[in-house]
Amino acid sequence: MPKGYWVAHVDVDDMERYKDYIAANAAPFAEFGARFLVRGGPKEVREGQTRARTVVIEFKDFATAKACYDSVSYQQAKALRDPVSTGDMEIVEGYGG
């Protein structure tokens, strides 16, 4: 079964308050077995435009990735993130071929 991924591109307006989101998302990510593949870090944009931070999180499958996002505990963490950042995020199914 293909894995599921969150792919996010984020601009953070207040890193100190964003740290509250990072602390709060630890519990749902642990509960749903999330594994960070990319978490910020240096990058070089070769085409198009993107935001300051790129994050890629791996889950055991697409259903688990969606369930984590929809969980009460993640939505509570997200409520801390929303006022201090702007982003684009999608949940995608990995390639199983």
Which pLDDT value is given to residue 25? 97
Domain positions in the chain: 4-93
Q: Residue 6: which residues within 8 A CB-CB, separation 6 or more?
A: 34, 55, 56, 57, 59, 65, 68, 69, 89, 90, 91
What is the fold of 4-93?
Alpha-Beta Plaits (3.30.70)
**Which phi and psi angles does 33 have, rounded to 5°?**
70, 30
**Residue 97 pLDDT more than 90?**
no
Which pLDDT value is given to residue 92? 98
pLDDT single digits (tens) 40-92:
999 999 999 999 999 999 999 999 999 999 999 999 999 999 999 999 999 99
